[in-house]
Structures are given as C-alpha cells and as structure tokens.
Amino acid sequence: MELSLLRSRTFAPLRPVSSPCHVRRPPSRTFFPPQPPPPSQEDSGCSRAVRTRQEWVGDWVRSNDTLVRGLPIFIGGISLLAVLLNRAVSGIAAVSDASSSQSRADILTLALSVTDILAGLVWLSIRPKSISPVLPRGVDCKRVDPDVSSSALHELLWAWDSLMAATCCKSLVVVYGGNCILQIGVAATSPEDGKAVNVDAQKFIQGSLYTSANESKKQSYLANLSLYPGRTELPFLPANTQALILQPIGDKGIAVIGGDTIRGFTNLDQAWIAMIADKLDATLSKS
C-alpha cells in the first residue's frame, strides 16, 4: 500500500539555484541631503531691523561719548542718595540695628554705588587717543633704475598704485640685488639743493634694519616709527613718517613702505603686502 502511494506521487522538478553573481541588484541612487529652506521675508526683515537698531545705538554712543562715560557716576550717585534717603525715612537706627538684614542690604548697595562712581571716573579720565593722518614733510619723487625691464617697471608701478590707494602708504623704496630700483612717493628734502634725498643702497644694506629683516625673512612692522632709534638708517624718508613696514622680497631685496598714520597698517594690509612682495620677487627674478 505504501509503495503504491509513493509511486503515484509526482514530484516537481527542482529549479536550479542561480549563482550569486547573477543576482539583480537595485539601481544605485544618489543621496542628496535635505537643503535648508530659504529664509522667509519675515526673518530677513527681523535681521535687518536688528542690524539697523545696532547701528543706531553705535552711532548714538559715538556722538554722546562724554555722556555715556559719565553715566555710571550719575547712576552711582542716585543709588547712593536713594540708600541714604531710605535709611532716613525707614527710621532704623544706625548702630543698634547694624546686624539686621536691612543694614546688610544697605551696605551692599553702598558698595555697588561707590563702584559705579569709581568706574565712571576711570572712564572719564582714560580716553583713547585719536589718531589722524600726518602730512609727510618732503618732496614728491619718482626715480627708477634704468636697468629695470619694462615688465618689471609695470609691476612695480602697479604695486605702488595699489598700496597708495588701499593703505596709508605714502613712500615706497625697493632695494633689489644691491641697488635701489625704485624710489617713489614722498621723500625727504635735501638741504643742499631742495631735491629728494638719494637712497644709498649699500649703506642701507649694511644697517641693522635691513640685516634683521633679511635674516629673518619675515615682515617687520614698526607701528610707531618715532619710538625706534633705527629710523636714523632711513634718511631718504620724510622726517615725520609715522609707520614703517620692511618687507623682504625673496632673498635679494627688500621693500621699505612708509605710512602717514601711527598703526595705520592693519593685519590684512600686512598680509596683502607680503603677497605683493612674492609677486614682485617672481617678476624681478626673471628680469
């Protein structure tokens, strides 16, 4: 019986199992992260209003500098008078109730009032000194080494125009290869003939300013030139030059940049001048 039942059954043929290399994979999709929604008109209007308010407050503080500096004195004085008036009106004895909570609060208030008054006095006594440009005393000068190629001269004049337009630079002297290849801007006046003082390149190279800048290969910034004794090594610059930058140009030269304002060259100006020096070195080394 069992054998007959087994013979009567028909078995379905087995399907061949496909190899893993023929498995169909879904096409890859590029994932794009969700982008933030654009700012609405309300958000832009609020930010604009906050920025306008900050500018208004800054302008008001600048225009009322004395009042703002004396404001702590008024606040401290009014607080001091208020504490004394409250002490007189409340009827609390000055000695017998010295350990009470009211007395401790009055002492703290008096300390804060005195602190405000002292802060106001300090603000009024210490003010930042206003720094304004100084007109250089000298004559206009434009001297170029005749051996400089036309491409290098074009590059040097471009550097001068850029520095004069974007910074406080009023004098520029470029010493390269042991020679002064450019002297432009305001120069010191010669007492003999009233003309611009010539740059003695060899004497300048032997000085401490050139030596230190050439050895360090880094820019030297003299923010207040009047405080440095080395200014005697720069007789070709106006006597009232306020700031000075000594910028090495590769291994063969240096640029002397004189300004008309104390601390007039910003950090951005210094970095930009260093990039200009690299560009000049690439041009002068080929000429």
Q: Among 187, 176, 165, 192, which residue's Cα sits nearest to residue 286?
A: 176
Q: Residues 6 or more apart from 286 whose CB is under 8 A from it?
A: none
Q: Which residue has the higher pLDDT, 210 or 19?
A: 210
pLDDT tens by residue, 237-251: 999 999 999 999 998
What pLDDT is attached to residue 95?
A: 54
Q: Provide the pairing of β-strand 253-259 with 243-249.
A: antiparallel
What pLDDT is attached to residue 12?
A: 46
Report yes or no: 136 and 240 within 8 Å, Cβ to Cβ: yes
pLDDT tens by residue, 218-237: 999 999 998 888 888 999 99
What angle is formed at CA 41 by the lines to CA 39 and CA 45, rounded to 5 degrees? 105
Q: What percent of the chain has pLDDT over 70?
A: 79
> Which pLDDT band, with edges at 50, 70 and 90, does 1 fall under?
very low
pLDDT tens by residue, 19-73: 444 445 555 555 555 665 665 666 566 667 767 777 887 788 778 888 888 888 9
What predicted TM-score, i.e. pTM, was given to this entire model?
0.61
